[in-house]
Amino acid sequence: MMDKLGRNDACWCGSGQKYKKCHAEIDERMESYMAKGYPTPSRNLLKTKPQIDQIKESGKINITVLDFVGSHIAAGITTAEIDRLVFNKTKELGGRPATLNYKGYPKSVCTSINDQVCHGIPSEKTFLKDGDIINVDVSTEYHGYFSDSSRMYCIGNVSSEKKRLVQVAKECMELGIQQVRPWGFLGDIGQAINDHAKQNGYSVVREIGGHGIGLQFHEDPWVSHVSKAGTGMLLVPGLIFTVEPMINMGTAKIFIDKKDDWSVYTADGKPSAQWENMVLVTTDGCEVLTY
């Protein structure tokens, strides 16, 4: 249970406001859900306004870096060159690539091409070719605050089948984000995503999902993209997490490349597409912080 505060006490979030003017109403509503057995976020997962402001600054860098990649990506460049673009631009803007050396990951960005689902490691040997689709996943740490987003890029003359996959994957993410609202549930997001993917003949990766973020690169909650509406953690104002469904053209089954212990591939070799945004639950809906 939450520590009880007097209504005229200073709010637990450090805002300097009286509790009754700040988090009292939110806490009371959370407690009503807790009493009914619903899983609710702990206070430390709810970001304060000063924290949100700093996370947004990190997010601005993340967006700018992806814009920069988009202006340079083309057939003929290597994924190692994309990595250098990300590293140099992030540093120029005062940030640090959050993936670099994270749990041993060796690069500043993830570059996942065609049947690579995620966590593709940039290489001097991997050249982008006409017809490829690639996910570029950028994560930024700025003054101790974290942000994360990814985009798909179509290289040259991409087949209509791949273009459709990329488009539907984006629609899946957007439909999931439309479900982000206070006093809803994480499961609402996964239901919307999975329904749309299935309606279009695709499958959704089950083992990998979104995640809380802001004060750390990865925080609770874990965000499933195949969940059921009305289940999962209660969505409360101040909660920040990513929505990043991985949509496969064929089977949802995946495997991790044993050679590098990072790169994830579709089990049937068919293409996969992913988009990622970072969202903040607000008092009246949600705000997209990165794209």
10-residue stretch averages of pLDDT, the chain, 291 residues long: 81 89 92 95 94 98 98 98 98 98 98 98 98 98 98 98 98 98 98 98 98 98 98 98 98 97 98 98 97 98
C-alpha pair distances (Å), 263 with each of 165, 170, 256:
20, 22, 6
- Give the pLDDT of residue 2: 63
- Counting Cα atoms < 13 Å in the Cβ hemisphere of 185 gives 14
- Give the pLDDT of residue 4: 80
Residue with tokens 């994480």: 186
